[in-house]
């Protein structure tokens, strides 16, 4: 039987078909509108849990999840991103940055208290890690939690938080006692007195996904909301980054696949000097290279996704897949605009939006430069 890299099982194929149908029938119809008004389609988002069962993909069935793997998450992000990468980014923050991360780091009581409402879509979630002066340098974060009896008091500001103003539950990374220490601690936190959303960012792309500050001012969190042990959050943060990076890469694949579709359809329909654009050598170069680059990156992303398990780290190739796919998506989206000419530069076609959305993916979850640094570090260990 032929092995299918992109749909390893019938269940994976069913997930793809479900998401593709949802994307073409519902996501596509609202994508341009919500991009234009920088809005978040909250009602549609909640249906991902309540109706489509797309939250909790990597959570075992006995704990209320779907019982699948990172490949399933890659499939969902790829298919959604062909229609609305911004909406898909909010899904990634909820499903990958919170649900997958929280399930494998939290204890049984924490899972029981928080996962059901997040998996059902009743509550929207996210991750609070980046700060105004700590992005790639994550250990430079300055948000601090101080233990006072049976509670911790938290002060600090988080920056560029996806779902920041719409979510009400987050995983928070911070330092204990003082910001100079290297160790990181994590909590599950809920909006309430002392914890609020700050300024909403006005962005170039991913405009259908809300991005805000999160502000903590003497915010008190119960000690039972500590995830794992004090000063021990770095390991589960890094493990989840591997899944985050391969799913961000999957978003890039979705964008590129859509752009390949758009430029080929346009080149077949559009004529110049009495010939379709597909008859011109330069256009052939654009179409062929875009297709080949997309397929090469797509194979890499799926290969890495299928090798990520809780027992086997894939930090080198997760970074590699993100590095390759995100740069590829920008090139392909820019090529699509060139093929479409003046029409590609307008909002009559989606390639303009796709390029704006693609640019974020080479920044979020680790910049291109950070991926190059991490890859070189891992290669040095291998070849030393």
Q: What is the pLDDT of residues 150-159, one digit of tens each?
A: 999 999 999 9
Q: What digits encode the pLDDT tens for the residues 55-111?
A: 999 999 999 999 999 999 999 999 999 999 999 999 999 999 999 999 999 999 999
User: Average model confidence (pLDDT) for the chain?
Assistant: 96
SS3 of 102-133: the string is HHHHCCHHHHHHHHHHHHHCCCCEEEECCECC
What pLDDT was estimated at residue 257? 98
At residue 374, does pLDDT exceed 60? yes
What pLDDT was estimated at residue 134? 87
How far apart CA 22 and CA 180 sit, in angstroms, is 47
Q: What digits encode the pLDDT tens for the residues 228-250?
A: 999 999 988 999 999 999 999 99
How far apart CA 73 and CA 365 sit, in angstroms, is 16
How far apart CA 111 and CA 361 sit, in angstroms, is 30
What pLDDT was estimated at residue 234? 92
Contact 146, 153 (CB under 8 A): yes
Residues 6+ apart with CB under 8 A from 369: 136
Find how far residue 70's CA is from the centre of its chain. Answer: 12
Domains of the chain: 10-124 (1.10.540.10), 126-227 (2.40.110.10), 234-383 (1.20.140.10)
Find how far residue 314's CA is from the centre of its chain. Answer: 17
- In this structure, what is the dihedral angle of CA atoms 128, 132, 137, 142, given to the nearest 10 degrees? -70
Q: Exactly one of 78, 79, 95, 244 is catalytic; which is it? A: 244
Q: Is the pTM of this model over 0.95?
A: yes
Q: What digits encode the pLDDT tens for the residues 162-196?
A: 999 999 999 999 999 988 889 999 999 999 999 99
- CA-to-CA dists, residue 102 to 106, 236, 366, angstroms: 5, 9, 20
Q: What digits encode the pLDDT tens for the residues 214-227?
A: 999 999 999 999 99
At residue 312, does pLDDT exceed 90? no
Q: What is the mean pLDDT of residues 300-321?
A: 94
At residue 209, does pLDDT exceed 80? yes
Find how far residue 108's CA is from the centre of its chain. Answer: 26
What pLDDT was estimated at residue 310? 84
**Helices within 165-274 (DSSP H only):** 234-269
Q: What digits encode the pLDDT tens for the residues 285-302?
A: 999 999 999 999 999 999
Q: What is the DSSP string of 14-48?
A: HHHHHHHHHIIIIIHHHHHHHHHHT---HHHHHHH
- 359 CB-side CA count, 13 A: 11
The better pLDDT of the pair 178, 161 is held by: 161
Catalytic, 17? Answer no
At residue 1, does pLDDT exceed 60? no
Task: Tokens for 320, please give them.
Answer: 């590699």
At residue 2, does pLDDT exceed 60? no
Which percentage of the chain shows pLDDT scores above 70?
99
At residue 327, does pLDDT exceed 60? yes
Least confident of 137-141, 174-178, 269-273: 137-141
Bridge partner residues of 170 (DSSP):
126, 189
The better pLDDT of the pair 255, 135 is held by: 255
């Amino acid at each position: 039987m032929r092995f299918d890299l992109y749909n390893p099982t019938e269940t994976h194929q069913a997930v793809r078909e479900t998401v593709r149908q949802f994307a073409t029938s519902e996501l596509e119809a609202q994508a341009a509108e919500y991009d234009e008004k920088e809005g978040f389609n909250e009602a549609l988002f909640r249906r991902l849990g309540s109706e489509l069962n797309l939250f909790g993909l990597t959570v075992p069935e006995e704990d209320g999840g779907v019982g699948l793997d990172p490949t399933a998450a890659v499939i969902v992000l790829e298919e959604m991103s062909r229609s609305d990468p911004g909406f898909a980014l909010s899904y990634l923050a909820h499903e990958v940055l919170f649900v997958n991360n929280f399930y494998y780091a939290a204890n049984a009581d924490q899972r029981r208290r928080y996962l059901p409402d997040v998996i059902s879509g009743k509550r929207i979630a996210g991750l609070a890690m980046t700060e105004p002066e700590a992005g790639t340098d994550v250990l430079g974060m300055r948000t601090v939690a101080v233990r006072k009896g049976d509670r911790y008091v938290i002060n600090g500001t988080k920056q560029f938080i996806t779902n920041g103003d719409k979510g009400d539950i987050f995983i928070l990374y911070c330092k204990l006692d003082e910001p100079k220490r290297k160790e990181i601690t994590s909590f599950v936190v809920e909006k309430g007195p002392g914890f609020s959303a700050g300024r909403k960012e006005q962005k170039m792309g991913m405009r259908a996904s809300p991005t805000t500050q999160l502000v903590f001012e003497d915010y008190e969190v119960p000690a039972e909301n500590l995830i794992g042990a004090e000063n021990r959050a770095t390991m589960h943060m890094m493990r989840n980054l591997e899944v985050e990076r391969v799913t961000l890469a999957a978003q890039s694949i979705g964008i590129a696949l859509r752009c390949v579709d758009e430029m080929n359809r346009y080149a077949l329909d559009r004529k110049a000097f009495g010939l379709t654009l597909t008859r011109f050598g330069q256009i052939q170069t654009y179409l062929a290279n875009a297709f080949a680059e997309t397929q090469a990156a797509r194979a890499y992303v799926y290969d890495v996704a299928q090798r990520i398990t809780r027992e086997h780290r894939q930090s080198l190739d997760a970074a590699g897949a993100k590095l390759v796919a995100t740069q590829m998506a920008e090139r392909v989206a820019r090529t699509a605009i060139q093929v479409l000419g003046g029409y590609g530069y307008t909002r009559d076609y989606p390639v303009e939006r796709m390029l704006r959305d693609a640019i974020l993916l080479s920044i979020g979850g680790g910049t291109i430069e950070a991926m190059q640094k991490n890859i070189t570090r891992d290669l040095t260990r291998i070849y030393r």
